[in-house]
Each structure stands twice: as structure tokens, then as C-alpha cells.
Amino acid sequence: MMRNSTQQPLTLNETSSFIDTTIGLDEFTYGNYSDNGDDEPPVDGWPYFDIYVPSYWAVILSIVVLGIAGNILLCIMMSDAKLNFLSYSVFLKWLAVSDSLLLGTRFIIETERVFSLRSVTVINEALCKILTTFRIFVMILSPWLVAGLALDRYVCVCWPLKRDVLCTRMKARIVCSVMLGMSTVFMIPIYTELHLVEGHCIPTQEVYYYFIFIRLLLMSGLPCLFILVLNILIIIQLKRSHAFRKTFTRSGNDAGSHPQTNATRPLVLICIMAFATLMPTAVLDAYINALIVLDIDENALILSLKIWPLFLIVYLLNFGQNFYILIGSSSNYRNIIKRSLVCCRFKQNKERRNTTMNYILPASPSDI
């Protein structure tokens, strides 16, 4: 239940659910605002609603199942011969893996929350350190992989003469590896300063503020700004190219059917949707942290934490939408995934027929 207005502000030693809420701050700050272990009513009986119900869990389950299924299909589609040699296929495959891991860990957290299950992070200190840092790790990695994809498209569109040199699979792997290493380095202070204390995964005060810095700057602020700026530049360049080609064609449709434009637009849409789904939680997160640090309005803080699950749903959409954006915005991708699935089915049927024939064919004289 909520704290009443006579209780003291939340202290760091009381914060025990860092991995329980939406983006990960609960274990540091949010947990005891939503559950302080007593039966006292909310502040003045307000707010009156509770979002953590089985129907909310069902929505999360649907997003996770559809998202992971879409990410698997995205990997299959990007393995097609027409796409596998392209640099952006590397970013999308890495994103599919990272996003699936994040969706899986998020689903476990929300299941523990809704059904009041014991968190696996409090079993021992090793799990406290490893699972908590891993969940933060994938939260940092995914937005930066989208930023890498936006950079790849920016080079292809705005520096077309350098595309063959800079936009290669090897360069894409290097960029993804650098982001992986960067995310790992940022996790070292959190890993070393997390401890299991009285059944709670507790950080030091310095690490708490360090995490706030990472959450607001590295998980949302910088990558979202990077994605926004690059996509604005890409869209401007695409419009200029469209206008330039239109002057040499009789029909505007001819200009819009340029292969490079058609290939880039769905990828730009992925980046734009990533920005749109990451920003709401970033803004609310900044607001919540300001209320906690300044301790200025407990009612506003309680309401913000109560509506947090709605923002979580929007946030999770980012990690399961890429495949559906591609097939929804381009017939080329739809044809590729159809062909890939048909090939997989044909191979399975062929293997099944070969296995059946091995049982049906009579033994050769040499086998008798």
C-alpha cells in the first residue's frame, strides 16, 4: 500500500525493488512507494485505481509473445540472400537478439510483481549482481543499436559515394561490438556495488545516483537525441533527392519508386518509432526522479508511479515492433519473408520425405 502523508521521505536503504518496475529504477527508488509492507491506505485514499492486475499482465504477455516471435522472423528475413550482405541486416539481427532478451527479462519482472512472487534476485548475492546488471545492460544496448542503424542510414543517404566503404557488414559488426563493450563497461560500477541486504538487492548511494545518470542520459537522452537528429537529416536529404529526381521525370511516382528511397524509408520509420516509444518513459522517469530527489510533492509522485505501467506498455512496444514495421511498410520485405518461410517449409518437408523413404526402401543385398 502507499505511504501516508505522515511518513518520512523514502531513504536509500528502504528502496528494494530496482528491477521490479518499468525501466529498472524500482529496486533503487520505486518499490516501497507502491508497497511498504503494511495495510495503510493511500494518501487520502487517492489514487483509487490499481493497474497491476491480471489483465495488465495479459497485455504484457501479448506484447512479449508477439515481440519475440517478430524478432525471430526478423532474423530469418535478414538471413535472406538479398539482405544478408547489407550492413543494416547486422544491426537488425543484433537488435532482434537484444530486444528479445529485454522482453524476456521484463516479462519475468512483471510476472513477479502482478502475482506477488519472490524475485529470483534475492536468492543470493551472485544472482542479485548478475541479473540486475544484465537487465540494465540490455536496456542500454538496444537504444544504441537503433542509433547505430540510424547512423548507417545517414551515411547511405547523405554520403552515397562513401556508402560502399563505410556501410559494410564488417563495419556494422565493429560498431555493434563497440556498443556492446561500452554497455559492459558502464555496468562495472553497478555490479561491484550491489549487495544483498536483508533480502533486498541494495546499491550504495553513489551507485544510485550513477544509475540515474545512466538511465536518463545513456538509456534515453543521448541515443534519442542522436536518433532524432540523424533522422531529421535523412528526411531532409530524401526530400531533396525526391525533388531533384522529380524535375527529370514525368511522374512523381517514378521519383518515389527509387530503390534507395524505398529501402531506407522503412528503416527510418523503425528509428522514428523507437524515438516515439522511448521518449515518454524517459520524460516520466526524469519527472519521478526529480520528485524523489527534491521531495516536493508526494501525491504527484504516487500518481506518477501508479500510471507508470501504462508507460511501460508503450516502452515495451519498441522492442517488438521492428519486424511488423518492415512488413507493414514494404511489399519487398513481405515477399522476402514469404519466400524465406516457404523455403524453410520445403526443407522440412524434404527432410521428412527422405526419412520416410529410408524406412520404406528395401534393404540392399549387401545389407542382408
Q: What local confidence, expressed as pLDDT, does residue 349 receive?
A: 63
Burial of 53 per CB tally in 10 Å (0-12, 13-18, 19+): exposed
Tell me the three cell numbers of residue 368. 542382408
Q: What local confidence, expressed as pLDDT, does residue 319 receive?
A: 95
Q: Dihedral through CA 188, CA 190, CA 191, CA 194, nearest 10?
A: 160
Q: Which of 274, 276, 301 is nearest to 290 (CA)?
A: 301
Amino acid identity of 238?
A: L
Farthest-apart Cα atoms in the chain, separation = 92
Q: What local confidence, expressed as pLDDT, does residue 24 receive?
A: 42
CA–CA separation, 214 and 234 (whole Å): 28
Q: What local confidence, expressed as pLDDT, does residue 60 receive?
A: 95
Q: What local confidence, expressed as pLDDT, does residue 111 receive?
A: 92
Residues of the chain with pLDDT under 50: 1-44, 251-257, 259, 361, 363-368
Query: Hey, which residues does 26 pair with through a beta bridge?
Result: 18
Q: What local confidence, expressed as pLDDT, does residue 104 receive?
A: 94
Domains of the chain and CATH, by start: 12-334 (1.20.1070.10)
User: Cβ of 367: how many Cβ atoms within 10 Å?
Assistant: 6
Helix, strand or coil for residue 18?
A: strand
Q: What local confidence, expressed as pLDDT, does residue 343 receive?
A: 75
Q: What local confidence, expressed as pLDDT, does residue 34 receive?
A: 42
Q: What local confidence, expressed as pLDDT, does residue 220 receive?
A: 85
Tell me the three cell numbers of residue 49. 485505481
Contact 5, 298 (CB under 8 A): yes
CA–CA separation, 4 and 39 (whole Å): 11
- 230 Cβ neighbours under 8 A, 6+ residues apart: 147, 150, 151, 153, 154, 271
Buried residues in 186-209 as b, exposed as e (16+ CB within 10 A)? bbebbbebbebeeebbbbeeebbe
Tell me the three cell numbers of residue 50. 490499481
